[in-house]
Amino acid sequence: MQKRHRHLLISLLVIIAVGALFAYIKRPHPVSVAVYKVAPGEVLSTVTNTRAGTLKACHRSRISPSIGGQIVSLPVKKGDRVKAGQLLLEMWNDDLLAQLKLAQHQYQRTMALAHQACIMAEVAQRDARRLRSLVKKNMVSKESVDQASSEAQAKLAACEAANIQIKVSQSKIDVAQAALDRTRLTAPFSGRVAELNGELGEFLTPSPVGVATLPAIDLIDYTCLYVSAPIDEVDAPQIRSGMPARISLDAFSGQIFEGVVRRVAAYVLDREKQSRTVEIEVDFKNPENTSRMLPGYSADAEVILQRREKVLRIPSEALFDENKVLVLNNEGQLAQRQLKTGISNWNYTEVLDGLSAGEQVVTSIEREGVKAGAYAVIETRHD
């Protein structure tokens, strides 16, 4: 009998062990999660461009002569730094130089003739005055005085006409100089030659109306750069000049540059269907940061509408279903929590109610098995 009871006890223990093993195998495995420890910090309310913006130069001129001609002088090359007013390109202009010299010589001749005419007028006026004094003494006839006075007036008018002719001659010089200047390209500002489309001896032809052609010279001032970015029309009314902003560029990954909004366009762009935007321009707060940047880089501008410091915050990626989060409790189980939130951006959201400092919220909510009631183990923790 005792032997039989022993066998029953052993069988019972085996059944219990098998059941326990089965229950252990079938138990739900904890999921690995990334968590964030709730703590005070800075939260920003921001607006970001809808499409990639562009880094632009404050001064950039794609210049070409207004007339056609053959290049005879090209004193610059790509990459050269130039000063405002420096000669960049000159076309054949010997005929215009000759016309300018002719106008200058005519001006000199006109000056001499005017000087002669004015001297003669002065002499005639003196003679007329002398005769008027003699007629009082009955030494000359009144007719002689009248004739001398008329001659003096005529010569004075000739002097005045000669002085006006000087102005005409000066205007002819200005016209000749303007025609000559059209054959020369000078730098409108100090900068660097980015592109040069032309060689010595080649002929340049001005662009036909409505047809864009390559500029002879592309001149860029690299000392002043800014970001031009499109903002959704819904967000644009919140933005004002002078607001702080943050600039990021793909070419400088991981770096954030402080900026200031300098301009908000006064019109809406509708270049793409169902996409209406307003262009904004953002200056770099520290221009020295642009020393290694090139115009044309893609850039993003994040305008800061509000800034709050030392407020309770969580990563915005932890939120789902209208401000709900998953909290990892001390027993290792996930619990759903409804929050009341304040301002937010892509990075952080302000927590007004529903969480306390030190609690751990799940940021990897997209992983399979991550839900309320599930057990979890921490894979990574961010503070």
Residue 134's pLDDT is 79
Statement: residue 83 has pLDDT above 80? yes
1-10, 107-116, 122-131: which range is least confident on average? 1-10
42-46, 131-135, 259-263, 282-286: which range is least confident on average? 131-135
Residue 4's pLDDT is 59
- Provide the residue ranges of all domains of the chain, joining segments of one domain with +: 31-43+309-382, 53-57+224-307, 60-92+184-219, 94-181
Token representation of residue 232: 């959704």
Residue 380's pLDDT is 86
Q: How far apart are CA 263 and CA 265, in angstroms?
A: 6
Q: Point out which residues pair with 338 in neighbouring strands.
A: 324
Share of the chain above pLDDT 70, in %: 92
Pick the more confident residue, 1 or 359: 359
Residue 29's pLDDT is 76
Statement: residue 21 has pLDDT above 70? no
Residue 85's pLDDT is 95
Pick the more confident residue, 200 or 2: 200
Statement: residue 95 has pLDDT above 50? yes
76-85, 125-134, 195-204, 303-312: which range is least confident on average? 125-134
Q: Give the mean model confidence (pLDDT) for residues 239-244.
A: 95
Statement: residue 203 has pLDDT above 50? yes
Q: Give the mean model confidence (pLDDT) for residues 198-211.
A: 82
90-104, 179-193, 369-383: which range is least confident on average? 369-383
Statement: residue 275 has pLDDT above 90? no
- Which class does domain 31-43+309-382 fall in? mainly beta
Share of the chain above pLDDT 90, in %: 65
Statement: residue 89 has pLDDT above 70? yes
Residue 139's pLDDT is 74
Length of the chain measured in residues: 383
Q: Which CATH superfamily includes the segment(s) 53-57+224-307?
A: Efflux pump adaptor protein, beta barrel domain (2.40.30.170)
Residue 56's pLDDT is 96
Residue 23's pLDDT is 47
Q: Give the mean model confidence (pLDDT) for residues 174-186.
A: 95
pTM of the model: 0.69
Residue 142's pLDDT is 78
Give the pLDDT confidence of 210-219 residue by residue, as tens digits: 677 788 999 9
Statement: residue 1 has pLDDT above 60? no
What is the average pLDDT value for the chain, to the nearest integer? 89
CB 177 within 8 A of CB 96: no
Residue at 176: amino acid letter? A
Residue 178's pLDDT is 95
pLDDT band at 201 (very low <50, low <70, confident <90, very high): very high
Statement: residue 15 has pLDDT above 80? no
Statement: residue 265 has pLDDT above 60? yes
Pick the more confident residue, 110 or 132: 110
Give the pLDDT confidence of 324-365 residue by residue, as tens digits: 999 999 888 999 999 999 999 888 999 999 999 999 999 999
Look up the CATH number of domain 60-92+184-219: 2.40.50.100
Residue 22's pLDDT is 55
